[in-house]
Amino acid sequence: MEALYAMKAWELQDMIDRGEVSVSEVLDAVLARLEQVENEVHSYITLTLDAARAAAAEADRARDGGKSPGAAAGIPMAIKDVLCTRGIRTTCGSRILEEYIPVYDATVLERLRHAGLVLVGKANMDEFAMGSSTENSAYGPTRNPWDLERVPGGSSGGSAAAVAAGEAIWALGSDTGGSIRQPASFCGLVGMKPTYGLVSRYGLVAFASSLDQVGPIARDVRDCALLLSLIAGHDRRDSTSLRLEPPDYLSAMQGDIRGLRVGMPRELMQEGLTPGVRKAMEDCLQKFEQLGAEVDEATLPNLDYALSAYYIIAPAEASSNLARFDGVRYGLRVEGAEDMMEMYGRTRAAGFGPEVKRRIMLGTYALSAGYYEAYYGQAQKVRTLIIRDFDAAYEKYDILVSPTTPTPAFALGEKVEDPLAMYLSDVCTIPVNLAGIPAISIPCGLEDGLPVGLQIMGKVLDETTVLRAARVMEEALAFREKPGSGKGVGA
Ligand code: GLN
């Protein structure tokens, strides 16, 4: 039998329901694994082991008392440190929030707690979710469990690494331009960015509010659907939250993909793909056809401008959102300043890392009088064109597919000195955030022993079709690889 820490949430729940294993035993297995690998991988910023043990014991007591434990009960989980957790510090990977302890839970946390959450800890991330490698964390980088010399991706790199290494069974991340899908792809996992507005952003520390979404990182599509069902739904505390009752994704995603119209945007298959990624994509398209889908080349003509538009819009929103970290309300304050302006300046100089400062400067510039129309206004127009491109494509296709990333996980240190190279690793994922549509990444092959991801994009609120296609492809692809013990942490 597979080790408990390596199993899927739904498998563990079945075993727990049948009384074959207790929630505490599952947790112990995960914590023993954590003990073994965390020094090397560094998935977490803050561990909450005592609370996890208490939650596990509580779930076991409830079950012994004949009560059925919640849907998340017994499943040790990692939460990206950008989500507010009441009484547990929430750093966002930044020095400026090193000692910040929220007084409330994010809505997604609240929901998970109702479902019996067993929280192992707060996962490492690029500072304020800005980055693609988790090297921008003020708490040191996370390493890829498949190859410890490589990055796990980012910005939700800690969440993905924790699941891939067996230090959690599933996790939550956030995705503004690819931060769930890209690390899921680099770590051989399933990661999903839901439709904008499907999951509450209340208590998610804002990076770029018009792009941010919370979503699941899991070991298979079924777990991903299960976790999505637990967090999706209207929240009156988030003004952009959609008023709707989400379906039960688990049952809604059943069925085959015969006759499904699959478009492959040619703009996402251009230069920059490694041979292994290209090959894996070609295999996927063939599989789609074998499964009865109709595959065709699609076009999203304005996609070439997506990255540029994103790197105006996201920093612009960030510069405004991050103005609240001023030494007065949250976290760090540098003492000894002569006046308030100096206190602001010194606090922000000491509290923010270089990438965050770069974004604040870019964004402030793009929003400043005289440049606003030329940059921010223009980028918003491009965003509209991209939304229209997707709308037009979805008249012809049910889903669009592409690689999640142009290359598998890159080496630690390879791109830190070159922001543009780092930004380019998100070319395939960023358009999805600009358009607000849902997309998933599933593992679809290996290149040089490293996982490659397939991205499946859907229409607004059509998570069901995305999940169904992902589930059918997952079964057909039968990706069973695990991190090896040579360069990685071993299965
Ligand atoms: N890597 C992208 C950025 O740095 C996306 C990050 C994210 O999705 N949070 O902005």
Query: Is residue 248 a contact partner of residue 353, using CB atoms and an 8 Å limit?
Result: no
* pLDDT tens, residue by residue, 365-380: 999 999 999 999 999 9
Mean pLDDT of 434-452: 98
Average pLDDT over all residues of the chain? 96
* Residue whose CA is at the smallest distance from ligand 1 atom 5: 177
pLDDT at 270: 82
**Do 346 and 422 lie in a common domain?**
no
Residue 104 domain-assigned (yes or no): yes
In total, how many domains does the chain have?
2
- Do residues 204 and 83 share a domain? yes
- State whether 168 and 79 are in the same domain: yes
Is 487 assigned a catalytic role? no
Q: CA angle 105-45-41, nearest 5°?
A: 135
Domain boundary among 353, 380, 407: 380
pLDDT band at 416, cuts 50/70/90? very high
The sign one gets for the Cα dihedral 367, 182, 404, 435 is negative
Stretch 77-100: mean pLDDT:
98
Pairing of strands 76-80, 261-265: unpaired
Whether residue 227 is found in the same domain as residue 360: no
Instruction: Name the pLDDT band for 67 (thresholds 50, 70, 90).
Output: confident
Confidence of residue 388 (pLDDT cuts 50, 70, 90): very high
The reply to whether 80 belongs to the active site is yes
Angle at 175 between CA 174 and CA 177, to 5 degrees: 155
Same domain, 173 and 234: yes
Q: Which of 179, 200, 229, 425 is catalytic?
A: 179
Q: Per-residue pLDDT averaged across 399-403, rounded? A: 98
CA nearest neighbour of 465 among 317, 164, 309, 262: 262
In this structure, of 55-64, 144-153, 258-267, 357-366, the range with the lowest mean pLDDT score is 55-64
pLDDT at 3 over 80: yes
- In this predicted structure, the answer to whether residue 174 has a pLDDT above a threshold of 90 is yes
What pLDDT is recorded for position 98?
Answer: 97
pLDDT at 183: 98
CB atoms closer than 10 angstroms to residue 182: 34
Ligand 1 pocket test: pick from 134, 136, 179, 360 the residue with the most ligand atoms within 8 Å of its Cβ.
179
Within a domain: residue 300? no
pLDDT at 74: 82
Residues 214-251 pLDDT 10s: 999 999 999 999 999 999 999 999 999 999 999 999 99
* 165 and 99 housed in the same domain: yes
Strand order in the sheet with 170-175: 44-47, 118-123, 76-80, 170-175, 213-218, 190-193, 439-447, 450-457, 399-403, 261-265, 294-298
Task: Answer yes or no: do 180 and 317 share one domain.
Answer: no
Q: Residue 463 has what pLDDT?
A: 98
User: Is the same domain home to 65 and 96?
Assistant: yes
> Do 84 and 174 lie in a common domain?
yes
Q: Which of 8, 24, 80, 137 is catalytic?
A: 80
Each residue's pLDDT tens digit, 144-163: 999 999 999 999 999 999 99
Listed residues 380, 410, 434: the one ending a domain = 380
CB 173 within 8 A of CB 187: no
406 CA from centroid of ligand 1 (Å) = 15
* Mean of pLDDT values over 439-460: 98
Q: How far is the CA of 235 from the centre of ligand 1 (A)?
A: 25
Over 90: is that where the pLDDT of 63 sits?
Answer: no
Q: What is the CATH number of the domain that holds 248?
A: 3.90.1300.10
**Domain assignment present for 446:** yes
**Stronger pLDDT, 17 or 231, i.e. the higher one:** 231
Residues 408, 395: Cα–Cα separation, whole Å: 32
Q: Is residue 238 domain-resident?
A: yes
Whether 387 maps to a domain, the answer reads no
Is the distance from the beta carbon of residue 433 to the nearest atom of ligand 1 less than 6 Å?
A: no
Assess whether 370 and 430 both reside in one domain: no
Name the residue range of residue 342's domain. 310-380
Is 269 within a domain? no
Whether 367 and 405 share a structural domain: no
With H, G, I as helix, E, B as strand and everything else as coil, classify residue 226.
helix
Are the C-beta atoms of residues 214 and 204 closer than 8 Å to each other?
Answer: yes
Q: pLDDT digit string (tens) for 298-338?
A: 999 999 999 999 999 999 999 999 999 999 988 999 999 99
Q: Are residues 167 and 62 in the same domain?
A: yes
CB atoms within 10 A of CB 181: 36
Does residue 134 carry a pLDDT above 70?
yes
Residue 69 is predicted with a pLDDT of 66
pLDDT at 93: 98
> 349, 380, 411 — which closes off a domain?
380
> Is 354 within a domain?
yes
DSSP state of 325: -
pTM score = 0.98
In a domain? residue 287: no
**What percentage of residues in the chain have a pLDDT greater than 70?**
99
Q: What is the Cα–Cα distance from 250 to 350, expressed in whole angstroms?
A: 46
